């Protein structure tokens, strides 16, 4: 109710700021290095909207396919105001005629002999000629058609953004939005399978191919591979340590069985309760690897000792092992329980912190509980079958470690006060270093892609912004290690991101670490990009990465690690204070990419209505606003159907009657 007249709220896709999981462009093998024409960009945008978009939207978990770049196809009715005046017509007459002459109707049923017919009235516009043949009025027996007062053609809609690829040409693409709470890896995998099918079967006209330039699973797969590798290395390391310290192959194999079964049980429980195998949960499992074997080691060692002591007693092995397990059952239970309690606070976290750290805590707790059950059930059974038992003895490595330990223990027991004072001083010294530790909410990851955010003056035109962005991307491609640069300038016609036309968020893809030039890494590439782009006048550059950029925006509303917000009534005073803050922050070591948000600078052409003058002519303010909106901005009067495709029909004045303030002021 509080929105301005004519503005209707529209629900956006059920997604989040991190929902952009897959981005692509439509390319042809014949593109080469030439720039695409407006006709080619319009054709590709039509294919993207009405072929690619429906194919990808049907994938489960995809909330929306946001089309970006190119020129949106549109039927344009450019009305000549002089001809309107000649025939005594108004702009509203043309607008209304198009609306009234583009419809079908149902006439009910017609029983005819033994059959029945459904009656349909067909009146949909099918072509440019149909629009031109619409009658506006009759004058002296002669009809006045739309073509008599307007030029009807197919053109491109007003653009609010563009896509520039590799500093070479504009392009057309799309962004796959993942539904909120979806599994990014599963959804993107299905999208990639569909894209592969579309490309291999040649489902797009003109040999067009869907070429991705951002794929979330590349980072996910790399991160999961790293964690899995660490997990495997941890298992191998634990196994080696067990063999060295236990000194018995059979005992070691029983403990290793716990190390194999416990993670499997953990994955089963995670799957049952919907916990995904993400970075945090796998990291939790990696942390728990060394702790999972504690219970089994205690049970196996105690069973080994009991079996050795009762070797000649004739008592059943199962009874001996049961007694040994019961003897250490309580300590094992309490030991694992205390460790699980440490992670209980993490399980109670809510919001973003809960989403990040709760999976880690749950995974550790599940893994430890599984290892506890296995150590008190499977381990005793295996001990009864496999262990032979023997006298308690130290392995050579334990014996080697015991000698210095016993000397240190004797020293500590002889000087208890000295040891306690030293421990307290060590604790105090450690706490005093805590304020000097670096802190961050999320550890920085090398995502393999860089976002070189570029901000220009707010009053810049889209055409000039496109030209500057093309030059910027050309400079970006000159940096060693850069393999692809695709920039989204402004926003699309159906935006999920309200980025203005003076801002761009290029995604720069860099080569794999092994393929980078010697001595180059992601940080050095970012420094080189800053240096390259610094030659462009009047722009602000901010370096980020795709995911971290969105996370910062979701947390603070600003795409940066640190944001300083000023509040006040005087805009100029705020601007001056902000400039002073920039000088101070620039002097801080480690600060980079500092900028002040450009809140002013957008120029306006104001049409100020003289109420006394319009009163003499009997005109309302609404009449003037209606003419301005239709004649200058253009207004959608109806939709034209081309099969399953729909295109807007827009009524407006030709460019010569709205291209400068004088022409706009002369509108009747």
Q: Are 74 and 156 spatial neighbours (Cβ–Cβ below 8 Å)?
A: yes
Q: Are residues 180 and 148 in the same domain?
A: no
Residue 394: the pLDDT is 67
Residue 99: the pLDDT is 93
Using alpha carbons, select from 665, 637, 663, 651 the residue that is nearest to residue 102.
Answer: 637
Residue 442: the pLDDT is 65
The bridge status of strand 540-544 relative to strand 449-455 is antiparallel
Q: Which two tokens stand for residue 76?
A: 């344009």
- Answer whether residue 474 is part of any domain: yes
Q: Are residues 254 and 123 in the same domain?
A: no
Q: Which two tokens stand for residue 336?
A: 């694992």
Cα 347 to chain center, whole Å? Answer: 26
Residue 356: the pLDDT is 79
Q: What burial letters (b/e) apply to 291-327, b meaning 16+ CB within 10 Å?
A: ebbbbbbbbbbbbbbbbbebeeeeeebeebbbebbee
- Answer whether residue 12 is part of any domain: no
> What 3 state SS string does 184-211 have?
HHHHHHHHHHHHHHHHHCCCCHHHCEEE
- Answer whether residue 655 is part of any domain: yes
In angstroms, the Cα distances linking 655 to 79, 89, 129, 455, 652 are: 10, 20, 22, 29, 9
Q: Are residues 464 and 485 in the same domain?
A: yes
Q: Are residues 232 and 367 in the same domain?
A: yes
Query: Mean pLDDT per 10-residue run, the chain (668 residues)?
Result: 73 79 91 87 94 93 91 94 91 92 92 91 93 90 92 92 91 91 88 94 92 87 77 77 75 84 90 80 80 86 82 80 89 89 86 81 91 91 81 71 88 90 92 77 76 87 91 92 92 76 90 87 90 88 83 72 83 85 85 76 83 88 88 91 92 90 82
CA distance 464 to 437: 46
Using alpha carbons, select from 549, 460, 562 the residue that is nearest to residue 497.
Answer: 549
Numbers of helices and strands, H then E, in the chain: 23, 17
Residue 390: the pLDDT is 60
Q: Are residues 457 and 414 in the same domain?
A: no
CA distance 149 to 266: 75
Q: Are 306 and 324 spatial neighbours (Cβ–Cβ below 8 Å)?
A: yes
Q: Are residues 98 and 169 in the same domain?
A: no
Question: End of a domain among 429, 457, 486?
Answer: 429
Q: Are residues 410 and 462 in the same domain?
A: no
Q: Are residues 368 and 225 in the same domain?
A: yes
CA distance 655 to 668: 16
Q: Are residues 333 and 257 in the same domain?
A: yes
| 507 HSE (CA, 13 A, CB side) | 24
Cα 27 to chain center, whole Å? Answer: 23
Residue 650: the pLDDT is 95
* DSSP alpha helix (H) spans, 48-169: 53-57, 81-87, 91-100, 128-132, 146-149
Using alpha carbons, select from 100, 83, 89, 86 the residue that is nearest to residue 150.
Answer: 83
- Answer whether residue 584 is part of any domain: no
Number of domains present in the structure of the chain: 3
Cα 526 to chain center, whole Å? Answer: 21
Residue 241: the pLDDT is 77
The torsion of the CA quartet 307, 312, 314, 315, rounded to 10 degrees, works out to -30
Question: End of a domain among 429, 454, 488?
Answer: 429
Cross-strand partners of 165 = 169, 486
Q: Are residues 278 and 350 in the same domain?
A: yes
Q: Which two tokens stand for residue 517?
A: 């030039």
CA distance 20 to 176: 6
Radius of gyration of the CA atoms of the chain, in A? 36
CA distance 241 to 651: 79
- Answer whether residue 291 is part of any domain: yes
Q: Are residues 488 and 414 in the same domain?
A: no
Q: Are 444 and 489 spatial neighbours (Cβ–Cβ below 8 Å)?
A: no
CA distance 493 to 157: 9
The bridge status of strand 645-652 relative to strand 73-79 is parallel
Measured at the CA of 257, the angle between CA 252 and CA 261, to 5 degrees, comes to 155
Residue 1: the pLDDT is 66
- Answer whether residue 410 is part of any domain: yes
Q: Which two tokens stand for residue 353?
A: 């912190």
Using alpha carbons, select from 391, 400, 236 the residue that is nearest to residue 301.
Answer: 391
| 204 HSE (CA, 13 A, CB side) | 31
Residue 668: the pLDDT is 66
CATH code, 113: 3.30.2090.10
Q: Are 508 and 433 spatial neighbours (Cβ–Cβ below 8 Å)?
A: no
Q: Residues 162, 165, 166, 167: is their CA dihedral positive or negative?
A: negative
Q: Are 454 and 539 spatial neighbours (Cβ–Cβ below 8 Å)?
A: yes
Global confidence as pTM: 0.79
Q: Are 509 and 484 spatial neighbours (Cβ–Cβ below 8 Å)?
A: yes
CA distance 379 to 391: 20
Q: Are residues 353 and 492 in the same domain?
A: no
CATH code, 39: 3.30.70.1320
Expressed as residue numbers, the domain containing 498 is 20-72+158-218+443-563
CA distance 45 to 171: 9
Residue 102: the pLDDT is 93
- Answer whether residue 595 is part of any domain: no
- Answer whether residue 587 is part of any domain: no
Residue 209: the pLDDT is 94
Q: Which two tokens stand for residue 97?
A: 């005629």
């Amino acid at each position: 109710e509080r929105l301005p007249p004519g503005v209707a709220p529209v629900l956006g896709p059920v997604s989040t700021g991190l929902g952009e999981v897959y981005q692509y462009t439509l390319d042809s093998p014949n593109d080469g290095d030439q720039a695409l024409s407006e006709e080619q960009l319009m054709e590709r945008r039509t294919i993207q909207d009405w072929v690619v978009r429906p194919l990808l939207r049907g994938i489960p978990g995809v909330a929306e396919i946001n089309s970006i770049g190119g020129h949106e196809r549109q039927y344009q009715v450019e009305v000549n105001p002089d001809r309107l005046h000649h025939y005594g017509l108004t702009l509203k007459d043309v607008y209304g005629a198009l609306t009234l002459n583009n419809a079908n109707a149902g006439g009910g049923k017609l029983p005819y002999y033994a059959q029945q017919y459904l009656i349909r009235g067909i009146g949909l516009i099918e072509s440019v000629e149909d629009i031109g043949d619409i009658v506006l009025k009759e004058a002296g027996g002669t009809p006045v058609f739309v073509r008599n007062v307007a030029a009807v053609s197919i053109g491109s809609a007003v653009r609010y953004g563009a896509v520039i690829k590799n500093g070479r040409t504009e392009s057309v693409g799309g962004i796959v939005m993942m539904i909120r709470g979806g599994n990014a890896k599963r959804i993107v995998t299905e999208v990639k399978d569909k894209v592969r099918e579309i490309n291999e079967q040649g489902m797009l006209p003109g040999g067009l191919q869907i070429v991705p330039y951002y794929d979330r699973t590349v980072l996910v797969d790399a991160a999961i591979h790293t964690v899995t590798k660490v997990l495997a290395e941890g298992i191998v390391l634990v196994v080696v340590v067990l063999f060295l310290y236990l000194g018995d192959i059979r005992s070691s194999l029983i403990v290793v069985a716990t190390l194999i079964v416990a993670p499997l049980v953990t994955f089963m429980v995670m799957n049952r309760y919907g916990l995904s195998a993400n970075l945090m949960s796998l990291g939790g499992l990696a942390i728990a690897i060394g702790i999972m074997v504690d219970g089994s080691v205690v049970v196996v060692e105690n069973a080994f000792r009991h079996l050795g002591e009762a070797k000649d007693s004739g008592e059943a092995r199962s009874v001996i092992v049961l007694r040994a397990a019961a003897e250490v059952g309580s300590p094992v239970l309490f030991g694992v329980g205390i460790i699980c309690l440490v992670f209980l606070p993490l399980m109670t976290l809510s919001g973003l912190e809960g989403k990040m750290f709760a999976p880690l805590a749950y995974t550790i707790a599940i893994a430890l509980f599984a290892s506890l059950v296995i150590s008190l059930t499977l381990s005793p059974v295996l001990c009864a079958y496999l262990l032979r038992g023997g006298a308690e003895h130290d392995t050579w490595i334990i014996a080697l470690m015991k000698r210095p330990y016993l000397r240190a223990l004797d020293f500590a027991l002889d000087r208890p006060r000295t040891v306690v004072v030293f421990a307290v001083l060590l604790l105090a010294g450690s706490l005093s270093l805590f304020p000097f530790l670096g802190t961050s909410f999320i550890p920085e990851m090398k995502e393999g892609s860089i976002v070189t955010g570029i901000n220009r003056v707010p009053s810049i035109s889209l055409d000039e912004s496109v030209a500057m962005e093309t030059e910027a991307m050309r400079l970006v491609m000159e940096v060693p290690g850069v393999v692809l640069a695709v920039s989204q300038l402004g926003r699309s016609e159906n935006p999920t991101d309200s980025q203005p036309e003076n801002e761009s968020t290029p995604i720069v893809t860099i080569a794999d670490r092994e393929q980078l030039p010697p001595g180059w890494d992601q940080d050095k590439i970012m420094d080189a990009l800053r240096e390259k782009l610094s030659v462009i006048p009047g722009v602000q550059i901010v370096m980020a990465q795709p995911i971290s950029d969105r996370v910062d925006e979701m947390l603070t509303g600003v795409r940066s690690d640190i944001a300083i917000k000023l509040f006040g009534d005087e805009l100029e005073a705020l601007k001056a204070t902000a400039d002073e803050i920039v000088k101070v922050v620039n002097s801080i070591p480690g600060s980079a990419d500092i900028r002040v948000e450009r809140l002013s600078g957008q120029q306006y052409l104001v049409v100020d209505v003289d109420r006394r003058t319009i009163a003499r002519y009997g005109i309302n303010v609404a009449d003037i606003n209606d003419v301005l909106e239709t004649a200058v901005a253009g207004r959608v009067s109806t939709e034209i159907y081309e099969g399953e495709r729909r295109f807007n029909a827009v009524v407006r004045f030709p460019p010569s009657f709205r291209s400068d303030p004088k022409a706009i002021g002369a509108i009747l």
